[in-house]
Amino acid sequence: MWKEFKAFIANDNVVTMATGIIMGSAFTAIITALVDNIFMPIIVALTGQADVSGLAFTIGNTQIGYGAFIQAIINFLLIACFLYLTLKALEKAQNKKLIAPDPEPQGPSEVDLLEQILAELKTNK
């Protein structure tokens, strides 16, 4: 059992995944600092308010805090934009495509469709 565990831990996939997680959390700190210290002050300069998480309305005795949700969306969009721009810069630097749209689903060719129609006509005869 110890040998299997040791082999599992030393597996390239586990080490690669752990490295990716560690790098991801370190990159998260960079992005959070960028959003909090650069993007949000720009938004404050433009709108006069950076944090909308305090926005809420009251129904009866219950306060509905919709501002936190809006703030999370704003943060997500800023982070996604920065990540996209970072990946595009890496693509340019490495001359390699990192962001590619999903390929269009391949349907049957015209020949395949005609063969299916012919087969269907033969079975209906």
Domain boundaries, the chain: 1-124
State yes or no: pLDDT of 15 exceeds 70: yes
Residue 50: what pLDDT? 64
H-run or E-run covering 84: helix 67-94
pLDDT at 61 over 70: yes
Rounded Cα–Cα distance for residues 53 and 100 (Å): 34
Q: How confident is the model at residue 5 (pLDDT cuts 50, 70, 90)?
A: confident
First vs last Cα of the chain: how many Å apart? 65
**Residue 49's pLDDT is what?**
67
pLDDT at 20: 83
Whether the predicted pLDDT of 102 surpasses 80? no
> Which option is the CATH number for 1-124: 3.30.70.890, 1.10.1200.120, 3.40.190.10, 1.10.1300.10?
1.10.1200.120
> Is there a contact between 70 and 110 (Cβ–Cβ < 8 Å)?
no
Average pLDDT, integer, range 45-67: 82
Report the percent of the chain where pLDDT is more than 90. 3
DSSP bridge pairs for 64 = 57
